[in-house]
Copies of this chain bind each other. A is one copy, B any other.
């Protein structure tokens, strides 16, 4: 019987640390719970053709003019950015509204991280909304995995790390783990006792966004498995793989 070597599983807590990790031929999961990757997951499960993530408002407006049946979206400081049509809330994109459309979305932390990853086998969008679907995909891929937190302007954040910890807790036994970030993330997940929303109420991002009146968004983004799809990056588009 052949001894199988388990693939590795690592967690990167900030884009400012991503250069420390090997991403070549690795499945990289981008995590930006409040709210980019949550919104992308919801939008694609609700029938959007694809999501195109862009870094700037100007690029978002430009692409919106070119791409048929597209809508432009993005926020700055909790409000729809000037010149764009919609915001970052997953609650804005019902199936009746978003089906078959292309969403051109500008985000700060998530998009930047996405563009920093090179040579990955696959770039996957992770959120609590598709937790189980992402875990199943990672298990079946057989590849090394890096869970990459978008964080907040390079600062560690609790919500992205908590999601990483949920993944490590669920599928870690199938991987080889020698990564203190992965261990810590799992411990935080265990602290939360599965009640993500309550746990995250004392976090910088929750406090900042709830000051904008976004409590419903935050509760939604902290809910597991509402949108069981696996979004992946294909060229410049994020599409559903399954």
Give A contacts to B, CB under 8 Å.
13-14, 16-17, 20, 153-158, 161, 178-181, 183-184, 187-188, 190-191, 202-205, 207
Contact = CB atoms under 8 A, between A and B. Distances in A.
Given A17-B154, A17-B155, A178-B207, A202 B188 contact: no
A180 B203 contact: yes
Contacts of A154: 17, 20
Contact of A184 (B16, B158, B190): B158
B184 A188 contact: yes
A14 B21 CA distance: 14
Is chain A's binding surface mostly helix, strand, loop or mixed?
Answer: helix
B180 A187 contact: no
22 contacts: A13-B13, A16-B16, A16-B17, A17-B17, A17-B154, A17-B155, A17-B156, A20-B153, A20-B155, A155-B181, A156-B180, A156-B181, A156-B184, A157-B180, A158-B180, A161-B180, A180-B203, A183-B203, A184-B188, A187-B188, A187-B191, A188-B188
A181 B17 CA distance: 15
Contacts of A156: 13, 17, 180-181, 184
